[in-house]
Amino acid sequence: MTELEDIGGTLTALLDAAVRRDPRATAVAERQRRVGYGELDEISNCVASALVAGRSEALGRVGIWLNKSVEAVAAIYAVLRSGAAYVPIDPTGPARRAAAVLADCEASWLITTPERVESLRACAPELVDRLSILCVGAEWEDALSRYAGAARVQVPTSADDVAYILYTSGSTGTPKGVVLTHANARAFVDWAAAEFELTSEDVLSSHAPLHFDLSILDIFGAVACGGSVALVPDSWTGLGSGLVRFVVEQNVSVWYSVPSALRRMADAAGGGELAGTRLRLIAFAGEEYPVRHLRALREVLPESGALYNLYGPTETNVCTFHRVAADDLAEGAPAAPPIGLPCPYATSVLTEGDGVVLPDVGEVTGELCIGGTSVMHGYWNDPAKTAGSMIETDRGRFYRTGDIVRRQDDGRLVYVSRKDTMVKVKGHRIELGEIEAVLELRPEIAEAVCVVAHDAAGTARIAAFVTAAGSDSPDERGLRRHCREYLPTYMVPEQFEVVPGLLYTSTGKIDRRSLTLAAQP
């Protein structure tokens, strides 16, 4: 992987290098469809040509509202090649949320489907009238035909330019855009390619949706080594048997996902279906992986398969890593493996209070703060929030993760808890305040509080407690329908409880601990 040092610091440089290496090598696999690097490059160049045609000003941001597909991957490279930043939008989310994202990032273009354009027009007609839109289908095919063989679109781009904006849950009820540069992404991707010893023979799975930060390794890690990325069908992402079948049929060698997906896979692979596969490395991130479930996964994998625990908020990319060892899985081991040591491009400090840096020696517990090349440029159009998320020290600028960790004597970090109300459910980072703000839009609700409870299997789920504003009691079915209009599926509470009043602590704060206990099955 030493070639990475010589091909430039942008994400498009990775594709250029892969095309030079072997244009016929498979770049993307979607079910039975195979697209080589040369074809992917040609498609992305045609789409980029359509985006920049007749425009003298910079494109800025381009929304991509598509299911994961060859077209979606090509659209990403087309946007990057045109010098713009891509903004992936949850394809399962409501049109209202898509409209909020597109309006907030001031997108110039939207690449989507005709059906989604109509759903967007129904809730935000003025936005649709302002946007330039390219629909997959007849318009897409027309662009491929019109610009076939066109001169390469190569808008000058530097490593410090914005590559993509990922929208995460916001405490005010509005999603917040995390702005990441080519350099931010390349720091992680280049390291992962070297650490995981990726080669052109590797097939990387793509389980995460494109608006989720785990997708960065899937899409760009594959192109960094000239390997291929195999797109998990949307209908299989939640099915353990489907994931096992996918690994076998697509000859996957490297898998990356949230632990909840791997738990389903392990449960479905009890018959030894994975033991004889090429699966040589599994990385997981996004939530804790209890050791008891890791042992079950280890038992169904090929003996030589490596396990990696990766950690990092969207704002930092992956910034720490730990290769799971036999001791981590032994009887009497801690309940979850450590999140490990900082990646070479990242630096870390632990703080307490308002940012007092704790000593670097000995065992200490504090808020994890991350600095280095992979840390975000900032939040889109929100300098105040950006400044509030950072601390300045004599060692430089650090992002405050909000995660409380313990640094062991050997330097490895162990996750302890969240500092605030942001939680992770099935790998998705969620600000409970956003759900509460949506619920409180309903006139019959006086107050809403959301907590995360766990079922007997340890699976996290969101429970909402609401109080009535008048004599009319809120209806659970109506509340669920209301949430689906504003929130993606993974943020809709699974449990709604109408209560006469909320519980409070002696200091006057909402007693979330008691509500969490009340939500347990």
Q: Give me the phi and psi of 458, to 5 degrees please.
A: 90, 5
Q: What is the pLDDT along the chain (521 residues), one digit of tens a residue?
A: 434 445 579 999 999 999 999 999 999 999 999 999 999 999 999 999 999 998 878 899 999 999 999 999 999 999 999 999 999 999 988 999 999 999 999 999 999 999 999 999 999 999 999 999 999 999 999 999 999 999 999 899 999 999 999 998 766 667 899 999 999 999 999 999 999 999 999 999 999 999 999 999 999 999 999 999 999 998 898 889 999 999 999 999 999 999 888 988 999 998 899 999 999 999 999 888 889 889 999 999 998 899 999 999 999 999 999 999 999 999 989 888 999 999 999 999 999 988 899 998 889 999 999 999 999 999 999 999 999 999 999 889 999 999 999 999 999 999 988 887 668 888 887 888 889 889 988 989 988 999 999 887 788 899 999 999 888 889 999 999 999 999 999 999 999 999 998 887 644 567 888 999 999 87
CATH 3.40.50.980 residue ranges for the chain: 8-185
- Residue 510 makes CB contacts below 8 A (sequence gap 6+) with 449, 502, 503, 504
Strands across the sheet with 281-284, in order?
33-36, 26-30, 228-231, 203-206, 254-257, 281-284, 306-311, 320-323, 341-342
Q: Are 447 and 470 in contact (CB under 8 A)?
A: no
Q: Name the phi and psi angles at 189, rounded to 5.
A: -60, -45
Report the alpha-carbon distance of residue 180 to residue 54 in Å, rounded.
28
Pick the CATH number of 425-519 from 3.90.1150.10, 3.20.20.70, 3.30.300.30, 1.10.3720.10: 3.30.300.30
CA-to-CA separations, 58 to 20, 79, 391, in angstroms, rounded: 28, 11, 32
For 386, phi and psi rounded to 5 degrees? -60, -50
Would you state the structure tokens that stand for residue 308, as one six-digit string?
């990696």
On whether the 8-185 domain is CATH 3.90.180.10, my answer is: no
| 275 and 300 Cβ atoms separated by less than 8 Å | yes
- The helix-helix angle for 259-268 and 291-300 (nearest 10°) equals 50
Q: CATH 3.30.300.30 occupies which residues in the chain? A: 425-519
Asked if residues 280 and 262 have their Cβ atoms less than 8 Å apart, the reply is no
- Give, as one character, the DSSP assignment of residue 510: B
pTM listed for this prediction: 0.87
> 177 to each of 63, 101, 134, 208, 298, how far by Cα in Å?
12, 8, 23, 18, 37
